[in-house]
Structure 1
Amino acid sequence: MTNRTPRVALVTGATQGLGLALVEGLARRLDAADTVYLTGRDAGRVADAVAGMPRTGARVRGELFDVADPAAAARLADVIAERHGGVDVVFGNAVMRVGPDDDPRAVMDEYTQVNNFGTTRLMRAFAPLVRDGGRFLVVASSLGTLHHLAPVLHGRFDRAASLDEVDKQVAAWRDAVQDGSAAAGAWPAFVNIPSKIAQVAAVRALAGERRAEDLRRGILLAAVCPGMINTPTSGLWWDVSGAATPAEAAVPLLDLALNPIDPAHYGELVRYGRALPWRPAA
């Protein structure tokens, strides 16, 4: 590719697992003039991850970025806008993982700050920077549909028309877990379910505001499901012996980020190239 503006990609939660595989895949598939930002909240791990990147393809640049810091996303967006003028690919992949022995009440503040408020802050800061033909992809899960939530709770996320409203519902769920009323309110005990649903709801809410202009400009905003991945954390919950490696799981996500857009994917949760239904069948 010649005579084009160098592309810029950003991956959050990129010092291990899927995030690291996404950075490596982007670096291999982009050109030497392009830049991939590998971000994480630990400076030593960021530096080590950058040192292990391939020496061909795009430049990999490490940046300290803690998505749980309320000011960090806007601060980094300003830096990237000043350096590059915009961004072409964003993967929101930062996640705080919980194990079966964790008490949800004890971890909910940090958990929602990373997984949910961190996601919506990233969207507010970086969606305006996405250039024509760009991609903004939030890594979620097939658990992130209303099929996995009690019908009495569907309206909380199905009717959320803005990121602020999604944040409000996440805060209400967090508070209910912490005060012990979540079970009586029909919330699932597995906190990954409401968290992933809220991430997809956030994508849908922002897509509702941006759809016409994004499609005109060739921009894709979507949630993505990488499927089951063989990682130590997943192994705490499930038998992942036959699951994909992070590098294997990254391939369909990279295809979505770099291949031509399917407009049917816009604002949806996409798994293996197919949009998953948000609502149960009537």
Structure 2
Amino acid sequence: MSLPKIAIVTGANRGIGLATVRGLLKKYEGKVYLTSRDEARGQDAVASLNKEGLKPAFQQLDTASKTSINNLKDYVVEKYGGLDILVHNAGILYKKDDPTPYPERAKTTVQTNYFDTVNVLNALLPVMKTGGRVVTLSTNISLIALQGCRDDIKSFFRSDDLTEKMLSDKMKEFVVSAEEGKHDENGFDEHAYGMSKLGVNALTRIMARDLKGQRDILINCCCPGWVRTDMGGENAPFSPDQGAQIPLKLAMLPADSTEPNGELHVRRKLVKWYE
């Protein structure tokens, strides 16, 4: 007997994550899990979708906790034999007027947006089923950050031979440089959010390369556009449902697809940022 298909969306109690769950529930022939760090907010999100006639499942997930990540992994392996779709949406962006000192903002942003993504993918990619689809959320600000880096740093991020360890060491170097007030001197752009997502772009490319030919898994990242969320603000031109269109498309690439893989999509446009 074949086990049901399963999709998981992280950071899904609001915004683009919630809209992605909504879209999957309408289009995907499988079980859809809404995950959230805060269980009460997650259950409220489930209740809101129930009012729309949609029935997501819920699991608590704190992407900052390896224990929480591994608990989720163990759950899906035991219950479903693995995972078919992962949309990793969880992340943070400090507001422009946030008083938190830059060194702390840089450290927290890179930890949450990059290193937590490393931990989620390293735990869940090995249990992706054949034909699995993985989508990580990025931003076009990552491209601005890349252009703001010194030429040798640009070349580093664009390298075809980059490894996860090399990339993580460079992200740590950026954080230390920011803490010492030397990020500009050391060749990094000042936008911590953009740098964190540049790391996600490069990580996605590395993992796609390392997984190539294994179980027909495709992994891509995307910028959903400027979306009206707590992060994007009320003046953004796109609704959360509009923002969810590209992650949904990448999450549901047809079974016989071999590409795109390891790519960044800004809205509907594929961007070869590494060339």
TM-score, scaled to structure 2: 0.89
Q: Does 1:67 align with 2:68?
A: no
Moved more, 72-81 or 53-62: 53-62
Tell me the distance in 1 between the aligned counterparts of 2:225 and 2:93.
16
Partners of 1:133 and 1:148 in 2: how far apart?
A: 37
User: How many pairs align?
Assistant: 269
Q: State the partner residue of 1:51.
A: 47
Structure 1 residue 56: Cα displacement:
7.9
Alignment of 1:157 onto 2:154: no
Letter in structure 1 aligned against 2:15? G
C-alpha distance after superposition, 1:233-268 (max 9, x if no partner): 323xxxx63511011111222122124265341111
Q: Where do 1:151-230 residues align within 5 Å? A: 151-159=151-159, 161-213=162-214, 217-230=215-228
52-61 or 253-262: which moved more? 52-61
| 1:128 matched residue in structure 2 | 126
Question: Do structure 1's residue 94 and structure 2's residue 95 form an aligned pair?
Answer: no
Which amino acid counterpart does residue 175 of structure 1 have in structure 2? V
- Taking only the aligned residue pairs, the percentage that are identical comes to 27
CA–CA separation in structure 1 for the residues paired with 2:44 and 2:51: 14
2:117 & 2:85 partners in 1: Cα distance?
Answer: 15
Structure 1 stretch 259-268 or stretch 175-184: which is displaced more? 259-268
Q: Quick one: distance in 2 between partners of 1:161 and 1:242?
A: 35
1:269 to 261, 264, 268: 264
Deviates further, 148-157 or 185-194: 148-157
Match of 1:254 in 2: 248
Greater mean deviation of Cα atoms: 50-59 or 68-77: 50-59
Change (3 A) 1:179 1:252: same
CA distance in 2 between partners of 1:164 and 1:189 (Å): 22
TM-score (structure 1 length as normaliser): 0.87
Q: 2:11 aligns with which of 10, 13, 20?
A: 13
- The answer to whether structure 1 residue 36 and structure 2 residue 32 are counterparts is yes
Say which SS state the counterpart of residue 243 (structure 1) adopts.
coil
The separation in 1 between residues aligned to 2:227 and 2:52, in whole angstroms, is 26
Rounded to whole Å, the distance in 2 between the matches of 1:192 and 1:7 is 34
- How far does the alpha carbon of each residue in 1:83-105 deviate from its partner, in whole angstroms, 9 at most, with x for none? 11111110111111211123321
- Asked if 1:278 corresponds to 2:273, the answer is yes
Q: Which has the higher contact order (CA 8 A, sep 6+)?
A: 2
